[in-house]
A and B are shown apart, each in its own frame.
Chain A
Amino acid sequence: MDKFTVLESLVVPLDRANIDTDQIIPQKYLQSIKRTGFGDACFASWRRDPEFVLNQPRYKGARILLARKNFGIGSSREHAPWALRDYGFRAVIAPSFGEIFQNNSLKNGFLPVALTESEVDKLFYDAASFPGFKLIVDLGKQSVSTADGSKSFRFDIDPFRKHCLLNGLDEIGLTLGHADKIRAFEERRRAQYPWYY
C-alpha cells in the first residue's frame, strides 16, 4: 500500500450529500479484473456535464475532495477508492462516510477525513471564495489546516489504521503474524461447533 503522511493540495468542493459509490464509479466500469486504470471512470456520469465542479479549470490538479455527509454510501465496490485515487485524489473530507467505503479507502492509501458539519461548512465557504484555496492534511498530527495556518481542525482515526497508512504496511502480513492464534481459535471452534466445518 502507498504511504500517506502529509498532503498539501488544492481542494475541490463537491457540494452534495449522500454521494453513493454508484456515482463515484458507475457499474459499467466494474468489469475490469485489475486494480488500476479507473481514473476516467471517476464520477463518469456527472463529468459529462461541463459545469460539473471537476471540470472547472480552477480546481485542476486538486488532490483533496470536499463533500457533504454520508460520502461513499451504498455498494461495497472497492473500485470507488481506486477510481478516486486513479483520478488523482489522495484524500476526501466530509462529515461522515459509508463504512465499507471508508474501510476500502484506508487499504489503498486513500484517506477519508471526517470533520464536523460546521467545520466542513467553513471549508466549503473558503474553497468557493478563494481561488487557489489549499489545505494541508497531516496524518501524523491528525489535522487539516489552511496553508496560512489560520484554520486548523483535528480529526480522529484508529491508531492501527494510522500506523498502517503512515508506514504503507501490508495488512495481510501483519495479520499472518497472528497465525498461531488463528490456528488455535480455529481448532477450538472446530471441536466445539463441528457443524461449521
Chain B
Amino acid sequence: MGQTLYDKLWESHLVHVEPDGTALLYIDRHLVHEVTSAQAYEGLTIAGRKPWRVDSVVATADHNTPTTNWNEGMAGVRDPFAKLQIETLDKNMREFGAKVYFPFLDKRQGIVHVIGPEQGATLPGMTVVCGDSHTSTHGAFGCLAHGIGTSEVEHVLATQCLVTKKMKNMRVSVEGALPAGVSAKDVVLAIIGKIGIGGGIGYAIEFAGSTIRAMSMEGRMTVCNMAIEAGARAGMVAVDDTTVDYVRGRPFAPKAPLWDSAVAYWRMLKSDPDAKFDREVTLAAAEIKPHVTWGTAPDMVVAVDDAVPDPDREKDATRREGMERALTYMGLKPRTRMTDIRLDKIFIGSCTNSRIEDLRAAAAVVKGRRIASNIRLAMVVPGSGMVKAQAEKEGLDKVFRDAGFEWREPGCSMCLGMNPDKLDAGERCASTSNRNFEGRQGVGGRTHLVSPAMAAAAAIAGHFVDIRSWR
C-alpha cells in the first residue's frame, strides 16, 4: 500500500520504536525563542548536560520584543521581565551556541516562523520543532513540523530526538480556483469552521488539491500555520516547483553540487496515489467566501455576508452555552450582520499573515485612502526585518503611513499581546492573526480574525466590508 507524505516523513526520522509504538523521532531543525527556552537551558545546566547538536538550533527573540523604540537599543525594552527573557536568550546563545542566532535589533530578526523559511533554514523533508504551537507553518515545505512544550525543548536539545507516537492521517483537499478577494486565510478559516477546533486532534493534516497547488509558499504557510487551530499539531503540503523555487538561493539552502541531489530527493516528498488516509475532507474553492470570526475560538466563524449566529438555534447544550458566553464576551447580539460590526483597532501582522504577499494585499486596498475616524490605531507589523526592508523597497510603508497606519518593527506583537501592543478592555480589533481566544490580544480585548485585505478594508471603512465588493 502507498504511503502518505506524513508516513514518509515519519519513517525517515525513526531512530527507535518501542513495542507499544512509542518512538524516538530524530529532529533536524530546532527553532528557539525567548519565551519557552529559558527553563530548558536551565534544565540542561542543572543536569550537567550539553546540547546534542547545536547546528540544529536557529534562534531569535520575537514574542515580547517591542515594535517601537528600536533606536534606543535594549533601553527601548521598557518591560523589565521582557528584557530579562531577551537577555537570558542572549546569554544562552553565548553559552550553548546555535547554527545562527538573530537577536533583538538584528536586521534579519523576526517572527521565528517567518525567518526559518526566509533564511532557507527550513528545508523540505525536515522534522522541525519549536516551543510554539504555530510551528505547523513549516509544514508548507513538505516538513513534519509541530509545536512542543518546554520540557520537550530541553529533551530535543539534549538528545536530538522527541519521544512521540505516530499520528493518524487526514487529507483536506480544496479544489478549484479561488474567487477574487478570497485568500489563503479564508481557505483555512473555512476549513477550521468545517472540522472544528477539536476536529484535527490526533491527526497530521495534509492540505492538497488544485487550490493549494496554485497557492504561493506564503499562502501555503498561512494555511499550515492554522492547522493547530483545528486541533492538528502538524499541517503539511507536498513539495512541488513552487516549493523548490522558493527555497533556491536562500542563505541556508544547499548549494551546488548538493542542490541537485537535494531537489531530486525533495520531489519524492508527496503522498503516493494509492495512499490511504484515516479521514478525508473536501472543500470547493468556488464556495469559499471571505471569512470573519465572531466568537472566542477560531471555529466560531462565518462568511462576511452572513450574520452572528443565534444560540437559540443550537440544540447541543454545551455548544449553546459556549456560544452565549462568547457573545457576551464579544459584546455582540445574535443575527447582527458582520458588515455592521464597527472596529476600534486594526492589526496586520503575526506568523499567519505578515509576509510580503500579505503586506502587498493590504497595501493594494488602502492605497490612496485614509483610515476611518473611529479607528484608534491601525498598525502593520512586518514578519521580519527582511520583509520590512522589502516592503520599504516597494514603497508599501509609505502607502500605509499615508493612509494613517503605524509602520512598526518586526515581531509577534499584538497577536498575543506579550509586548506593549495590546487591546484595552472592550476594544474591538480586526486582526490578521490566528487566535481570537478571550484576552488573547489583551485583557477584555475582542478579536475578529480576517485576511490582510479584509483587515485593510475594515480600517478604511471603520467596519467590516465584503472585500469582493471593494472598489
- The answer to whether the Cβ of A74 comes within 8 Å of any Cβ in the partner chain is yes
- The answer to whether the Cβ of B64 comes within 8 Å of any Cβ in the partner chain is yes
Shortest Cβ gap from B423 to chain A (Å): 12
Q: Mark A120-163, 1 if CB is under 8 A from B, else 0.
A: 00000000000000000000000000000000000000111100
The answer to whether A182 and B161 touch across the interface, beta carbons within 8 angstroms, is yes
Query: Among A22, A34, A170, A181, which residue has its beta carbon within 8 angstroms of that of B39?
Result: A34
The answer to whether A103 and B148 touch across the interface, beta carbons within 8 angstroms, is yes
* B135 contact set on A, CB distance < 8 A: 76
* A195 contact set on B, CB distance < 8 A: 123, 254, 258-259, 261-262
Given contacts A18-B297, A77-B36, A160-B163, contact A104 B151 (CB under 8 A): yes
Shortest Cβ gap from A157 to chain B (Å): 11
State the CA gap A197–B154 with chains docked (Å). Answer: 21
Shortest Cβ gap from B136 to chain A (Å): 10
- The answer to whether the Cβ of B131 comes within 8 Å of any Cβ in the partner chain is yes
Shortest Cβ gap from B270 to chain A (Å): 17
Name the interface residues of A24-66: CB closer than 8 Å to any CB of B.
26-28, 30-35, 45
- The answer to whether the Cβ of B126 comes within 8 Å of any Cβ in the partner chain is yes
Query: Among A26, A35, A98, A175, which residue has its beta carbon within 8 angstroms of that of B439?
Result: A26
- The answer to whether the Cβ of B198 comes within 8 Å of any Cβ in the partner chain is yes
The answer to whether A172 and B20 touch across the interface, beta carbons within 8 angstroms, is no
The answer to whether B16 and A181 touch across the interface, beta carbons within 8 angstroms, is yes
- The answer to whether the Cβ of A70 comes within 8 Å of any Cβ in the partner chain is yes
Interface pairs (14), CB distance under 8 Å? A20-B437, A22-B437, A28-B417, A74-B228, A76-B131, A76-B132, A78-B36, A97-B201, A98-B201, A100-B233, A103-B164, A107-B149, A158-B20, A179-B159
- The answer to whether the Cβ of A14 comes within 8 Å of any Cβ in the partner chain is no
The answer to whether B159 and A45 touch across the interface, beta carbons within 8 angstroms, is no
Extra 20 A-B pairs, beta carbons < 8 Å, given A26-B439, A100-B147, A103-B148: A16-B322, A18-B198, A26-B443, A30-B35, A74-B435, A74-B437, A76-B132, A77-B36, A78-B150, A96-B198, A98-B231, A103-B152, A104-B151, A159-B22, A161-B22, A182-B159, A195-B259, A195-B261, A196-B28, A197-B55
- The answer to whether the Cβ of B38 comes within 8 Å of any Cβ in the partner chain is yes
Q: Identify the stretch in B77-85, B105-113, B332-340, B402-410 within 8 Å (CB) of chain A at 4 or more residues.
A: B77-85
Given contacts A33-B85, A158-B165, contact A99 B149 (CB under 8 A): no
Query: Among A17, A76, A161, A185, which residue has its beta carbon within 8 angstroms of that of B147?
Result: A76
The answer to whether A27 and B418 touch across the interface, beta carbons within 8 angstroms, is yes
Shortest Cβ gap from A169 to chain B (Å): 11
The answer to whether B231 and A70 touch across the interface, beta carbons within 8 angstroms, is yes
The answer to whether B163 and A171 touch across the interface, beta carbons within 8 angstroms, is yes
- The answer to whether the Cβ of A176 comes within 8 Å of any Cβ in the partner chain is yes
Query: Among A73, A158, A193, which residue has its beta carbon within 8 angstroms of that of B125?
Result: A193
Report the interface size for chain B: residues with CB under 8 A from the other chain: 77
Query: Among A15, A73, A98, A172, which residue has its beta carbon within 8 angstroms of that of B155?
Result: A172
The answer to whether A45 and B20 touch across the interface, beta carbons within 8 angstroms, is no
- The answer to whether the Cβ of A108 comes within 8 Å of any Cβ in the partner chain is yes
State the CA gap A36–B411 with chains docked (Å). Answer: 27
Shortest Cβ gap from A154 to chain B (Å): 17
For A32, A68, A78, A181, which residue has the most chain B Cβ atoms within 10 angstroms? A78
For A16, A76, A103, A181, which residue has the most chain B Cβ atoms within 10 angstroms? A76
Given contacts A33-B38, A181-B15, contact A196 B126 (CB under 8 A): yes
* B211 contact set on A, CB distance < 8 A: none
- The answer to whether the Cβ of A23 comes within 8 Å of any Cβ in the partner chain is yes
- The answer to whether the Cβ of A75 comes within 8 Å of any Cβ in the partner chain is yes
* B440 contact set on A, CB distance < 8 A: 22, 27
Q: Mark A81-110, 1 if CB is under 8 A from B, else 0.
A: 000000000000000111110011001100
Report the interface size for chain A: residues with CB under 8 A from the other chain: 56
The answer to whether B198 and A175 touch across the interface, beta carbons within 8 angstroms, is no
The answer to whether B151 and A108 touch across the interface, beta carbons within 8 angstroms, is yes
Enumerate chain B interface residues (CB-CB to A < 8 A): 15-16, 18, 20-22, 24, 26, 28, 35-36, 38-39, 42, 47, 49, 52-53, 55, 64, 79, 81-82, 84-85, 88, 123, 125-126, 131-133, 135, 146-152, 154-155, 158-161, 163-165, 197-198, 201-202, 228, 231, 233, 254, 258-259, 261-262, 265, 297, 318-319, 321-322, 325, 416-418, 435, 437-440, 443
Given contacts A74-B437, A75-B133, A160-B18, contact A196 B123 (CB under 8 A): yes
State the CA gap A18–B297 with chains docked (Å). Answer: 8
Shortest Cβ gap from B333 to chain A (Å): 22
State the CA gap A175–B147 with chains docked (Å). Answer: 20
* B21 contact set on A, CB distance < 8 A: 158
State the CA gap A78–B151 with chains docked (Å). Answer: 8
Query: Among A33, A69, A75, A103, which residue has its beta carbon within 8 angstroms of that of B88?
Result: A33
State the CA gap A76–B131 with chains docked (Å). Answer: 7
Q: Which residue of B lies closest to A26 (CB)?
A: B439
* B254 contact set on A, CB distance < 8 A: 195
State the CA gap A23–B133 with chains docked (Å). Answer: 16
Query: Among B47, B197, B319, B443, which residue has its beta carbon within 8 angstroms of that of A73?
Result: B197
The answer to whether B198 and A45 touch across the interface, beta carbons within 8 angstroms, is no
* A35 contact set on B, CB distance < 8 A: 39, 42, 150
Shortest Cβ gap from B418 to chain A (Å): 5
The answer to whether A175 and B163 touch across the interface, beta carbons within 8 angstroms, is yes
The answer to whether B198 and A69 touch across the interface, beta carbons within 8 angstroms, is yes
Query: Among A27, A70, A160, A179, which residue has its beta carbon within 8 angstroms of that of B197?
Result: A70
State the CA gap A176–B16 with chains docked (Å). Answer: 12
State the CA gap A189–B125 with chains docked (Å). Answer: 12
